[in-house]
Chain A
């Protein structure tokens, strides 16, 4: 003939409402702890999400990059660049690669069209650029194999370049002057856009706008006519899938090492592996913050335990009366355990509300992308109920074990 759980819940709720101030003080630790957990989880999952988005925008997870090893000691000899013959050799060694694009940049180039001048980064590319970067011309065409073979004087403009030099007129077929060479505009690249994280104003709101200021010419034209000094120092390679990227990266590393007589002149990096190590970092970061939040919950739990012990001391006579009229130890135990769990769960719910309230503000202040989810709500509720259970057990056992005779004597 134990009393039902619903009775315990009603009792607990009535007690909480009766002692409102005490209840609020009791759960402040839980409220803040849960709030912290919410914010941290939102930041961590937001960071993962924006890293992912960034990676996707930069060419996805099957991308492999080759670039000079800045730590290389050139006293050992060797040059961190490739000629066209070496490029063809590397390509022939990795037929499984989906795409292969070396790029040589001339960072200081000015394009001229009539009286118009535009400072643009001109990049020497091969046709596979469109596959590697998942980016192509949406007006006209991109660089073709025949342009490479014939050192053609053709150029594909970035969308900002086309807009600023031609004011909305059709640039296709026009000629622009590049370092004294007349280059025919054969295409305009698709405009790239990505919302700047946190909406920072100083760089505008497009994190990828620098790409729209680039222009593209055949790599052979660049090397033979525009800038013979320019070197091919980086390669972009695309694996058939993110899973294949790691294996392909090792193979490319091996091929280049053989080509350069065992000298480690180049770094080879896979986006997938980068991403994995970034994720591992963010997991560590998240784990540290979760640990801090857990410690704050533990402190909150200890506070709750003390307040419950004090409350039970204060209510000893009431417990005595309840025992005298037939409450069993189990009924008293449940009454106080349920009350503690109820109070921490309500505190947790409050923490969730506050957490959601400030997540947006925190994201804005830290200029981070934050992502809240329903799993976080369940986790927070579960954790706060768990804290109530863990720290409510001892006071509840104390209450349940009171001797009715002694309890009734208490003033």
Chain B
């Protein structure tokens, strides 16, 4: 079953008078449970593609089906709901809220999903225990190491049980030891049935994926179908 399917995705940016085409006709399909790496040099359009896949942005033209729902034409508020239910983001710079403890950080997606305070606390604690941080619930992100912070971010990404996990250079800010642990976590998540899409420029990391999609000048040059 295809979890992601795009048809002729085009994204134009208007920079004053100049129109810049960031994506020029992306046809892509990703199956449920796949582990996919997206590679490409900077300026290739891979960030734009990731934003569209993550429903943070909408294509100028073309269709995007996520979990068999056409999301490319959805209004902003509906996209927010899709992000909340279907997508788990893991960022290079973690993007945890520094003044909230890690339990509260992990609770956030559940809060925006409308879950009651009691339930989401239980659920967030369960997930944090799963990533090995059950004894640090009241710690602030600044009191943790980089690797631990990224584990909190992963916990936040999976707490809503999303359709896809979208990771943007998740090991970019980590030393090799911590980076290895995080990749191992993604491997395990993949093995337990999660769909993982990882943007990276590191060939060694990309090699761990089932498939590598290469992007150049706004087009897929390799790996567009499973």
Contact = CB atoms under 8 A, between A and B. Distances in A.
B158 to A, nearest CB: 12
B70 interface: no
A3 interface: yes
B120 to A, nearest CB: 11
Contacts of B95: 317, 320-321, 324, 408
Nearest to B50: A405
B109 A326 contact: yes
A322 B156 CA distance: 12
A243 interface: no
Interface in B45-84: 51, 54, 56-57, 76-77, 80-81, 83-84
A7 interface: yes
Interface stretch (A214-222, A269-277, A328-336, A382-390): A328-336
B16 to A, nearest CB: 16
B102 interface: no
Contacts of B77: 328-330
Given A3-B114, A18-B99, A317-B95, A325 B56 contact: no
Provide the main secondary structure of the chain A interface: helix
Contacts of B51: 405
A5 B56 CA distance: 25
B111 A3 contact: yes
B164 to A, nearest CB: 14
A7 B111 contact: yes
B152 to A, nearest CB: 13
A267 B91 CA distance: 88
Interface in A294-318: 317-318
Interface string B79-102: 011011100010100011101000
Contacts of B57: 403-405
Contacts, number: 67
Contact of B97 (A318, A331, A403, A405): A318
Nearest to A6: B117
B108 A325 contact: yes
A403 B77 CA distance: 12
Contacts of B109: 325-326
B134 interface: no
B83 A405 contact: no
Interface string A83-124: 000000000000000000000000000000000000000000
A184 to B, nearest CB: 89
B31 to A, nearest CB: 24
B112 A322 contact: yes
A331 B57 CA distance: 19
B226 interface: no
Interface string B184-217: 0000000000000000000000000000000000
Nearest to A7: B111
A329 B80 contact: yes
Given A329-B77, A404-B56, A408-B56, A322 B108 contact: yes
Contacts of A323: 56, 80, 83
Contacts of B111: 3, 7
Given A1-B112, A404-B56, A327 B80 contact: yes
A2 interface: yes
B76 A1 contact: no
Given A3-B112, A404-B56, A324 B89 contact: yes
B98 to A, nearest CB: 9
14 contacts: A1-B84, A1-B114, A317-B95, A318-B97, A324-B54, A324-B89, A325-B83, A325-B89, A326-B84, A326-B112, A327-B112, A328-B112, A330-B77, A404-B57
Interface of B: 51, 54, 56-57, 76-77, 80-81, 83-85, 89, 91, 95-97, 99, 108-109, 111-114, 156, 160
Interface of A: 1-3, 7, 14, 18, 317-318, 320-331, 403-405, 408
Given A326-B112, A405-B51, 17 more contacts: A1-B81, A1-B84, A14-B99, A322-B97, A322-B108, A323-B56, A325-B83, A325-B89, A325-B112, A326-B81, A326-B85, A327-B112, A328-B77, A329-B77, A404-B56, A408-B56, A408-B95
In the A-B complex, the 9 residue pairs with the smallest Cβ-Cβ separation, listed nearest first, are A326-B84, A1-B114, A328-B80, A326-B112, A325-B109, A404-B56, A321-B95, A328-B77, A327-B112
